[in-house]
Amino acid sequence: MDEIDTQKTDVDEIKRELTRDWKRQNRAKIRDYLQSVKSLRGCANCGEPRSYCLVFHHKKGVVKKFDLAHMRDCAVSKIVAEAKKCIILCSNCHLALHEAERLAKMRQTA
Ligand SMILES: [Zn+2]
């Protein structure tokens, strides 16, 4: 009984290690993919090219499943599908867009 438990523990440890490695590699792949998409496209509004200034903004009317900035351990295909629903904006243009939307909404309700 003890021997079986020990083997099971070893197998579980190997599985945990493989899962950890897979998650680490998957996160790195996803991070690289998202950074390269940002760098290639730049800000859709002003052309800002620096990837660290850029964010993914979900286009109006699409169903947002999750925020790409907060994704964890997702399949690459799901990340790509979510990224296709977005435009790339720099932080300033992103804030300006949301402010314009907020003001427009206030005007509608007033
Ligand atoms: Zn911009």
The alpha carbon of 33 and the centre of ligand 1 are apart by a number of angstroms equal to 20
The alpha carbon of 25 and the centre of ligand 1 are apart by a number of angstroms equal to 31
pLDDT, position 31? 87
More confident residue, 46 or 6: 46
Q: Name the band, by pLDDT with cuts 50, 70 and 90, for residue 96.
A: very high
Task: Tell me the pLDDT tens digit for each residue of 40-72.
Answer: 999 999 999 999 999 999 998 898 888 887 776
The alpha carbon of 76 and the centre of ligand 1 are apart by a number of angstroms equal to 26
In this structure, what token pair is assigned to residue 48? Answer: 């800002």
Using only the alpha carbons of the chain, give its radius of gyration: 21
The alpha carbon of 56 and the centre of ligand 1 are apart by a number of angstroms equal to 12
Q: What is the mean pLDDT of residues 4-21?
A: 74
pLDDT, position 110? 77
Phi and psi dihedrals of 59, rounded to 5? -65, 150
Check whether 2 has a pLDDT greater than 50: no
The alpha carbon of 85 and the centre of ligand 1 are apart by a number of angstroms equal to 18
Mean per-residue pLDDT over the chain, rounded? 86
Amino acid type, 70: H
Query: What is the three-state SS of 81-98?
Result: HHHCCEEEEEHHHHHHHH
The alpha carbon of 77 and the centre of ligand 1 are apart by a number of angstroms equal to 27
The alpha carbon of 13 and the centre of ligand 1 are apart by a number of angstroms equal to 47
pLDDT, position 6? 54
The alpha carbon of 96 and the centre of ligand 1 are apart by a number of angstroms equal to 9
Domain extent listing, the chain: 2-109
